[in-house]
Amino acid sequence: MEAAALSRIGLAGLAVMGQNLALNVAEKGFPISVYNRTTSKVDETLDRAQTEGQLPLTGHYNPRDFILSIQKPRSVIILVKAGAPVDQTIAALSAHMEPGDTIIDGGNEWYENTERRIIEAENKGLLYLGMGVSGGEEGARNGPSLMPGGSFQAYNNIKDIVEKVAAQVEDGPCVTYIGEGGSGNFVKMVHNGIEYGDMQLISEAYDVLKNVGGLSNVELGEIFDEWNKGELESFLVEITADIFKVKDEHGEGELVDKILDKTGMKGTGKWTVQQAAELSVAAPTIAASLDCRYLSGLKDERENAEKVLAEAGMKDQVMSVRSGVDKKRLIDDVRQALYASKICSYAQGMNLLRAKSVEKNWNLNFGELARIWKGGCIIRAVFLDRIKKAYQRNPNLASLVVDPEFAKEMVQRQGAWRRVVGLAVSAGISTPGMCASLAYFDTYRRGRLPANLVQAQRDLFGAHTYERVDREGAFHTEWTKLARKSG
């Protein structure tokens, strides 16, 4: 019997993301071998490859046959659960791999695990990439945003494949070599943190429009459709419009109103906030979105608090605020507040990436990151093109809010933004993301903050010393003695 032709690449781990990515690779004309620990998923994938267009995909039922079916130097993508399963899969596959072969982990892996595995792979002569993959199931099948970091040589081995497999936008495929080490995973992690922020801000816009503006789901669907034609055009705004339109098949009204208000999460948002704290970078909008997920989880406590505070005399302010509201103006204000809040959130994410890039010497290209997020991924948005251009204008931009174009946009929108936050505060409708963004903006843009007083307090009780605005040096003052003397 003639030996079967070897595949160009392999993929192990055939849950939905893995299946879809493998089918995408095959559809782009690259013969692919697939493998999964539970072999029924291999058959499932083979069936799909047939029905979705007789795609060049071969299934394998043990690690050895799988690896030997791939042409050298071999590149193997792994898409299994992050953590120990990745190590177990690497152990099973690498036993049959040879020096010069590459392992590519496409999971949402903690970047330090990737850095450890890079060294372990190197010890066996293997190359390694940690590749962030964003876009969910649909993106994996039709064009995700890919964030590969690690061995540059490994990247070059698969460059032709990933450039075809990734989402395509007018300025190229949504993939680029991110940098060394775990940079691909780190960038994907921050992408997810930004995604938390975007989703939180959109949910606040919804809350304000619904509760302060009195908008129905039908109206909300129309407004989000409208917004998706302008500066807010993005995947998340588009899907939000669709969500408002779905009726509940089990009863009256729309399904969105029947969904329990308790958010799930898998950890990348938490990692982003932890990293921000580690690196002393302020990321209050992303942190607010994480805190909101935690608070949403306390459903029983929240219901109890609502009751206890009502009994203690808490009055609902929403109706009195709503009666004074011009609905049309509110809608326009909320759109502007959402946009301005988003700029601040992205500024935080980008500055976190910059701090890590400096620490790890990754040399991240922020314009390129914004570009590869323009398509395929969950945060894809027209607005990312503006971010790309801002970093092209000035690769060392201190913050997006001081880019001349964004600065103008912030100034134009700040009135609307303050009105929305002010209304929400008076109505008792919490908008932690919008408030965090606004406070970030107002803190960052002020040349003088009340931090002088904090320094004085620190010096008084801990002799931590302070600097002066008018002369060089570190100073300490006997505050209490002097105060008592003069008092």
The DSSP H or E segment spanning 127 is strand 127-134
Residue 113 interacts with ligand 2AM (CB under 6 A): yes or no: no
Among 6, 15, 295, 402, binds ligand 2AM (CB under 6 A): 15
Q: Reduced to 3 DSSP states, what percent helix, strand and coil does the chain have, rounded to the nearest 5?
A: 60, 10, 30
| Nearest approach, Cβ of residue 332 and ligand 2AM (Å) | 45
Q: CA dihedral defined by 398, 400, 406, 412, rounded to 10 degrees?
A: -100
Q: How far are the Cα atoms of 76, 187, 189, 287 from residue 181, in angstroms, in the given order? A: 18, 11, 14, 26
Q: CB-wise, 38 or 51, nearer to ligand 2AM?
A: 38
Other beta carbons less than 10 A from residue 266's beta carbon: 10
Mark 41-60 with x for binding to ligand 2AM (rule: CB under 6 A) and - for no binding.
x-------------------
Residue 96 interacts with ligand 2AM (CB under 6 A): yes or no: no
| Nearest approach, Cβ of residue 263 and ligand 2AM (Å) | 22
| Nearest approach, Cβ of residue 186 and ligand 2AM (Å) | 22
Q: CB-wise, 35 or 406, nearer to ligand 2AM?
A: 35
**CA neighbor of 341 nearest in space, from 126, 194, 162:** 194
| Nearest approach, Cβ of residue 79 and ligand 2AM (Å) | 7
Residue 129 interacts with ligand 2AM (CB under 6 A): yes or no: no
Q: How far are the Cα atoms of 102, 143, 265 from residue 15, in angstroms, in the given order? A: 21, 17, 19
| Nearest approach, Cβ of residue 20 and ligand 2AM (Å) | 12
| Token pair listed for 70 | 């791939």
**Which segment (11-19, 294-302, 321-329, 346-354) binds ligand 2AM by CB under 6 A?**
11-19
Residue 13 interacts with ligand 2AM (CB under 6 A): yes or no: yes
Among 8, 10, 11, 14, binds ligand 2AM (CB under 6 A): 14
Other beta carbons less than 10 A from residue 404's beta carbon: 10
Q: CB-wise, 37 or 124, nearer to ligand 2AM?
A: 37
Give yes or no for a contact between 71 and 46, defined as CB atoms under 8 angstroms apart.
Answer: no
- CA–CA separation, 329 and 416 (whole Å): 9
Residue 429 interacts with ligand 2AM (CB under 6 A): yes or no: no
Query: Residue numbers of the site for ligand 2AM (CB under 6 A)?
Result: 13-15, 18, 36-38, 41, 80-81, 85, 88-89
